[in-house]
Amino acid sequence: MCRIQNWGQLYTLNSFSGVYCMVKIGNISLPDFPLLLAPMEDVSDPPFRYVCKQNGADLMYSEFISSEGLIRDAIKSRQKLDFTEFERPFGIQIFGGDEEAMAMSARIVATVQPDLVDINFGCPVKKVVCKGAGAAVLKDVELMTRLTKAVVDSTDLPVTVKTRLGWDDNSRNIEEVAERLQDVGIKALTIHGRTRAQLYKGEADWSLIARVKNNARIQIPIFGNGDIDSPQKALEYKNRYGVDGIMIGRAAIGYPWIFREIKHFVQTGEIQPLPAIDERVEVCRIHLRKSVEWKGEILGILEMRRHYTNYLKGLPHIKEYRTKLVTVKTLQEVEVVLDEIKVKFAGMVPERPVTTFQQSQLEECAY
């Protein structure tokens, strides 16, 4: 039996078979079928991770960090190393195309004592791929293997990898990749069910993820990623594809409750009631205050603006209030607008949102 942390308390879960085992990543113990929060650039910062952890995320990662940036001591890269004890177990994700730089950045990461180091071989955005990093490495399995070995050899922390099915439909080589990376010492692999050529378009193909999981040579945990946006789909994919856990990205933006809803459904087979407007506003308020606390009032308020649409999705005639939220400039003013929304829509239970990030924004996210 396993215990998981959810809303600051410990719960003992019973599976349908009555037995719950744990998923191990090196020396890290996670509950059976853990839920991972995807590392999303300009989204997965400490305030966002805080509300996701409160709602049941089992393992979270930093925004992806350039190995070259860390070595140059770039301020933005260094800031991404920050995390709190509440977030543990916690991984820091790095990317790059040079073995020496990746090894050195892994050693820098180890100084802040996360629980693991994750390597990004999946980011499809042009500015990363053009530097021979992220998903670009999918075109050269030998290089991917050398980069991974350089990181594994440079740290005592467990090393994991996040990647895609392949570069394009003609090179969906994820089974070979999984075997090669396991052989050089990674402790878990997360697979996004699209190729680099697909970006975030079309439907994620989990059949290849299942083939990796069912490969007799593969002994490490395999996590699936892509298109999980409801408790029903999470359980369906768990049963159909047999993965050890799932990683959730877009579905958590402005809706951190997705984690607790999936846990409840997997445990009981019942759909948990959706959060009413009071709870939505209060979690949004927590997120806002953490953002201001972490980044200062000006930047904290500015960077929260991308989240309001999803927090308030489904409310009728919400545009007036959303406009206020993205134009007011002080924490007190934002709090007043949030109070107005609670009063105006008291008792309402909006539907679960579909992420409203535009494709151009999504292509700036690494998950």
Q: What are the beta bridge partners of residue 189?
A: 161, 222
For every residue of 175-210, DSSP letters joined together read: HHHHHHHHHTT-SEEEEESS-TTTTT-S----HHHH
Phi, psi (5° rounding) for residue 364?
A: -95, 0
For tokens 């009413």, what's the residue? 276
Cα(11)–Cα(13) distance, rounded to whole angstroms?
A: 6
Burial of 12 (0-12, 13-18, 19+ CB in 10 A): exposed
For tokens 């997120």, what's the residue? 287
Residue type (1 letter), 227: D
Catalytic residue flag (residue 52): no
List the one residue out of 288, 287, 291, 235 whose CA is nearest residue 258: 235
For tokens 């990317």, what's the residue? 95
Cα(195)–Cα(169) distance, rounded to whole angstroms?
A: 7
Of these residues, 123, 130, 284, 365, which one is catalytic?
123
List the one residue out of 36, 100, 55 whose CA is nearest residue 367: 36
Tokens of 243: 């993965």
Active centre residues (catalytic): 123
